[in-house]
Homo-oligomer: A and B are copies of this chain.
Amino acid sequence: MTNDPGGAVPTISDVARAAGVSPSTVSYVLSGRRPISAQTRARVQAAIAELGFHPHAGARALASSRTNVLALVVPLRVDVNVPVIMQFVTAVVTAARAHNHDVLLLTKDEGTAGLERVAHSTMVDALIVMDVERDDLRLPALRGLRQPSVLIGLPDGAPGITCVDLDFAGAGAQALRHLHGHGHRQVALVGPSPAVYQRGTGYAGRFLSGFTEVSAELSLRTVAHPCEPSAAGVRDCLARIDADLPGATALVVHNEEALLPLLADLRADGRRVPQDLSVVAVCPRDVAVGMPVRLTSVDIPAHEVGTMAVEAAMGLLDGRSVAETTLLPPTLVERDSCGRPGAGSEISSSHC
């Protein structure tokens, strides 16, 4: 690596001259878009290394109409689960890099204008949009862009845009089925914060509907309450559950941030998990594992979803056909927070 600080930045022509070939040959060595003899390739590559040549991204974008950049729109609200968002972001950046793309970060609060700005100015090849609401105002704008987009989430109706998400209805169903299989007949759902429902974020409702359907199908007694993710909010929510369904033997918690205060609250109340109350959480693995009690959980596969979103975007860019909607099947992992109702302290973990 011969760095030449102070010297001018080498261009493709400099490389061509040094290698004794034409600029186009250098370009083709770089892109592999046409066969090059081994010797020529070697000479060019030597010259590239020698000069420390790096193609100019802007020039490339101009000539090829490809930026190798993906836009990622993230929510920066505080009531949204920050660690989960970070997992999506990590997954997207990592997957994008694996496809030789970089990631331009947009915030949701720039709204439609932000999307159009980066798309119209050709800063990106495709867009990935997180935190999509059921009737998201940005959808029409996205449809109008020349670049393809991929949603993380599932809006109402046929969005006409590629969507990737966890099958939250399936997740709700699976959580409840699991508890039913362990003998529970009265189960309460601790949902996301009211703000999430009000915002019209789809996953909350989809999870609830899966939960509700299974409840009906299996003739269970269930209640569902949203929950503010704070010590006070959790206390409220538990009180309401005790009032509405005093015989509840299990909780499904679809609210990552409420988990810690909730477990603390139960403990302070002398209600042991899982001896007195079973808990199934819906959250990323590492959150479930990091709790005071290792929680049986339905995984939120942020990494997979993020990766699939990028794969879908790449597929669209390459002209491959891509399923409009991809719902990842839920995965429930047994850990230590779920026993049989009324098992008291004599819980046999082999049964759960």
The interface of chain A, by Cβ under 8 A from chain B, is 3, 5, 9, 52, 54-62, 67, 69, 72, 76, 78, 82-83, 85-86, 89-90, 93-94, 97, 102-107, 110, 117-118, 120-123, 144, 146, 230-231, 260-261, 264, 267-268, 286, 290-292
Contacts and interface: CB of A to CB of B under 8 A. Distances in A.
A102 B105 CA distance: 7
Given A93-B107, A105-B103, A59 B62 contact: yes
A97 B61 CA distance: 22
A94 B82 contact: no
A130 B266 CA distance: 39
A57 B121 contact: yes
Contacts of A76: 86, 89-90, 93
A56 B231 contact: no
Given A54-B122, A76-B90, A104-B105, 17 more contacts: A5-B144, A54-B120, A56-B61, A57-B58, A57-B123, A58-B60, A76-B93, A78-B286, A85-B86, A93-B107, A94-B107, A102-B105, A102-B106, A102-B123, A105-B105, A264-B264, A267-B268
Nearest to A264: B264
How many of these chains are in the complex?
A: 2
28 contacts: A3-B144, A5-B144, A9-B146, A54-B121, A54-B122, A55-B121, A56-B62, A56-B121, A57-B58, A57-B67, A57-B123, A58-B58, A58-B59, A58-B60, A59-B62, A72-B105, A76-B90, A82-B83, A89-B105, A90-B107, A102-B118, A103-B105, A104-B105, A231-B291, A231-B292, A260-B264, A267-B268, A268-B268
B86 A122 contact: no
